[in-house]
Amino acid sequence: MSGLPGLKVTAAADFGRVGLLIGGDSAEREVSLDGGAAIARSFERSGIAYQSCDGAAPLFEAIRRDEIDRVFNLMHGPGGEDGAIQGALQLLGIPVSGTGLLGSALTMDKVRSKWLMQRLGIPTTEFELVRRADQDLAAVIERFGLPVFVKPAGLGSSIGITRVKDMSELGAAIEMALRYGDEVLVEPAVRGKEYFAGVIGRTVLPLIRIETPRAFYDYEAKYHSDETRYFCPCGLEPGQEQRLQNQALQAFDALRASGWGRVDFILDEAGEPWFLEVNTVPGMTDHSLVPQAAAQIGVDFDELVWRILETSL
């Protein structure tokens, strides 16, 4: 038995016809396609009627033809994770899995989400907002020291992120991040271990700790490297893990996330958490964290997919 509440739906036919939204044209396209293929296989095993839609246009065409009753959204990045698809489906009266318009927009925007966490007293790193590669950043480095992380403000999967160890690397890192949007964050690198809290409904899954020989948990470490190590149980004392799970849910709620998702944070060398971001459409590939954590409480991949689809109810 898992630690989750009972299923809301027990017959696949009750879901109706599902549109599996994947792909799109963001930089996270390939990750979405990989996860979508795994979900499609799960739908087939569970007897769920579905059609895969690569991007919003095919989905809306299928809706226009009255072929879709609800949507399982696995389109990462801009368009799929930023509130755009959620708002459009809301207007059309089509249920969609996961977080709604406001929460999707907030969590996708690293700048505004961090401002909100700071306002609510949820520990998150300070940062500087940069809009030009030629901006004078000497004061930023003086404030934070080195190394720092340079991140696009509105993208996931660690795409466009650079760990900068020398001032001479900073301009190029900002130029690369600006390829993915108009705003870039520069924030101090916290020394500590990375943890991830998956959320299903109101349940926070066991924390996962990762170790990678790479400079940080980047795209290669997340999706391709066989050297990344995952620890679940994470090794924390149970009381400390519970406190961190509670704080993760606080961050999840603060940003109006709902249904399912993942909260990422670093536990520094003093044992203090620093929340990085909330992901409302986490990866579902064979390297992904939410399926690994769900398995620790007896929820296999097919049940996890079913429960995510239930969040569209």
Q: Which tokens go with 253?
A: 């709620």
Based on the residue annotation, tell me whether 241 is a catalytic residue of this protein. Answer: no
The SS3 assignment for 216 reads: coil
User: 277: part of which helix (H) or strand (E)?
Assistant: strand 273-279
Asked if 65 is an active-site residue, the reply is no
64 as an active site residue: the answer is: no
Bridge-based pairing state of the strands 208-211 and 229-231: antiparallel
The model's pLDDT over 22-63, given as tens digits with 9 standing for 90+, comes to: 999 988 899 999 999 999 999 999 999 999 999 999 999 999
Where in the chain do CATH 3.40.50.20 domains reside?
A: 12-97
- C-alpha 28/C-alpha 223 separation (Å) is 11
Q: Which of 42, 73, 157, 258 is catalytic?
A: 157
User: Domain 106-122+191-310 sits in which CATH superfamily?
Assistant: ATP-grasp fold, B domain (3.30.470.20)
Beta strand pairing status for 148-152 and 50-54? unpaired
The count of other CB atoms within 10 Å of the CB of residue 133 is 16
**32, 73, 279, 312: which is the annotated catalytic residue?**
279
Domain 128-188 matching CATH 3.30.1490.20: the answer reads yes
Residues 50, 72: contact at Cβ < 8 Å?
yes
Instruction: Please tell me the pTM assigned to this model.
Output: 0.89
Residues in the chain: 313
Q: pLDDT at position 1, please?
A: 43
Q: What's the whole-number mean pLDDT along residues 192-218?
A: 88
pLDDT confidence bin for 158, thresholds 50/70/90: low
- Active-site residue flag, 264: yes
- The string over 169-197, giving b where at least 16 C-beta atoms fall within 10 Å of a residue's C-beta and e elsewhere, is bbeebbebbbebbebbbbbbbbebbbbbb
Q: What are the DSSP calls for 123-187, one per residue?
A: -----EEE--TTS--HHHHHHH-S-EEEEETT--TTTT-EEE-SGGGHHHHHHHHHTT-S-EEEE
Mean pLDDT on 292-296: 96
Q: CATH 3.30.1490.20 in the chain, residues?
A: 128-188
The catalytic position among 82, 223, 258, 288 is 223
Least confident of 65-74, 118-127, 171-180: 171-180
Question: What's residue 136's pLDDT?
Answer: 75
Residue 181 — very low, low, confident or very high, per pLDDT cuts 50/70/90?
Answer: confident
Fold of 12-97: Rossmann fold (3.40.50)
Q: What is the mean pLDDT of residues 151-168?
A: 81
> Which of these is catalytic: 54, 183, 218, 264?
264
Q: Do residues 262 and 277 make contact, with C-beta atoms less than 8 angstroms apart?
A: no
Q: What's the pLDDT band for 216 if we cut at 50, 70, 90?
A: low
What number is the average pLDDT over the span 105-116?
Answer: 93
33-47, 91-105, 153-167, 243-257: least confident range: 153-167
In the chain, which segments carry CATH 3.30.470.20? 106-122+191-310
Catalytic hit among 29, 70, 256, 262: 262
- Verify whether residue 109 is a known catalytic residue: no
